[in-house]
Amino acid sequence: MTDIVMYDVIILGSGPAGLTAALYTARANKNTLVLGGDRLGGQMAGIAKLENYPGWAGSGMELAEFMKKQCETFGATVKFVSAKNISGDAESGFNILCDDGKHYVGKTVIISTGASPRRLEIDGAREFMGKGVSYCATCDGFFYSYKDVIVMGGGNSALNDALYLADLAKSVKIVYRKSAFTRAEAVLRERVSQRENIECLFNTDLVKIAAKPGDSDGRLVVTTTDGTEIETDGLFVAIGHEANTDYLTEEIKRDNMGRLSPSALPAGLFVAGDVHSDIKMQIATAVGTGCEAAMDAIAYLNKQ
């Protein structure tokens, strides 16, 4: 491990939180490295038309590219590798082993590796992923224009997906295992109830996904817990998210979704974005926590 550069700040993740943090730390003349994972932008990159981030009217990927160039302008380095584990501490330096086999060492680390959609674990879910099963309505909804789709889930994400798809698809069925959308905001429940092409199937869960026999159009047949079979062109899964923190040691405390609380982190470690334990999962809030984590890291470094 000779000739390893000691960075002031290493940022894990290249979504809106990580890139915002990099902008702030680089502008503060801190030697900043972004380990951006396997793709730029995180979940933001999959948004075809970004409508709810102030001041931006393009796609999520376009915003990610702009943010990357902006932090690089101030000297940040972005590498597209993923952390496999973190060892060490603030005193000796945090040693990050990545999937490229290289080690990177930082005086501070900002964890902003985001969250991923929780995968559906039933027969056929893996087999038909990308072939009728999707975890991103805004990414894939266009392919189901004037077709029949199912949304699985009952939270805000599921209802937002259903409303988005209702503008494209012929029909949308929401399948939810409980008797009401108790986790979703009232405004979304009201909007769903007003859409004529949305049908809600409560107290219903799925147990199997299969291809429709003899069908050449790629239609699926989903089976519910009571044995009912429903034909559909696509199944959109929105059953929650899990933080991308599997690479962290057990000593770093996480909640039941794998998220991190800033107050529970060792000195020199900071958290931002969807991996944060107390955040609404929006680009605007991710940017805010990225700013906060960066400013905390800068203040910490300036005291050393």
The predicted-structure confidence for 267-296, as pLDDT tens digits, reads as follows 999 999 999 977 888 899 999 999 999 999
Mean pLDDT of the chain: 92
User: Which domains, and CATH codes, for the chain?
Assistant: 6-116+241-303 (3.50.50.60), 133-237 (3.50.50.60)
pLDDT score for 169: 97
Digit-coded pLDDT (tens) for 97-156: 999 999 999 999 999 999 888 889 999 999 999 899 998 887 789 999 999 999 999 998
Mean pLDDT for 227-243 is: 92
Catalytic residue among 139, 205, 291, 296: 139
Question: How does DSSP assign 26-63, residue by residue?
Answer: HHTT--EEEE-TTSTTGGGGG-SS--SSTT--S-HHHH
**How far is it, in rounded angstroms, from Cα 294 to Cα 182?**
36
Q: How far is CA 214 from CA 189, 218, 221, in A?
A: 37, 10, 12
Q: Is 139 labeled as catalytic in the residue annotation?
A: yes
Measured distance between the N- and C-terminal CA atoms of the chain, rounded to whole angstroms? 24
pLDDT above 70 as % of the chain: 99
Which of the two residues, 16 and 118, has the higher pLDDT score?
A: 16
CB of 128 within 8 A of CB of 209?
yes
Q: Is 136 labeled as catalytic in the residue annotation?
A: yes
CB of 298 within 8 A of CB of 291?
no
- Structure-token match 């990545």, residue found: 98
Catalytic residue among 136, 205, 291, 296: 136
Digit-coded pLDDT (tens) for 186-226: 999 999 999 999 999 999 999 999 999 888 788 999 999 99
Which of the two residues, 118 and 33, has the higher pLDDT score?
A: 33
Tell whether the model's pLDDT for residue 87 goes beyond 70: yes
H or E, element range at 234:
strand 234-237
Which of the two residues, 233 and 138, has the higher pLDDT score?
A: 233
Contacts of 228 (CB under 8 A, 6+ apart): none
Catalytic residue among 8, 71, 140, 200: 140
Angle value at C-alpha 126, between 153 and 177, nearest 5 degrees: 20
pLDDT score for 231: 96
pLDDT score for 1: 45
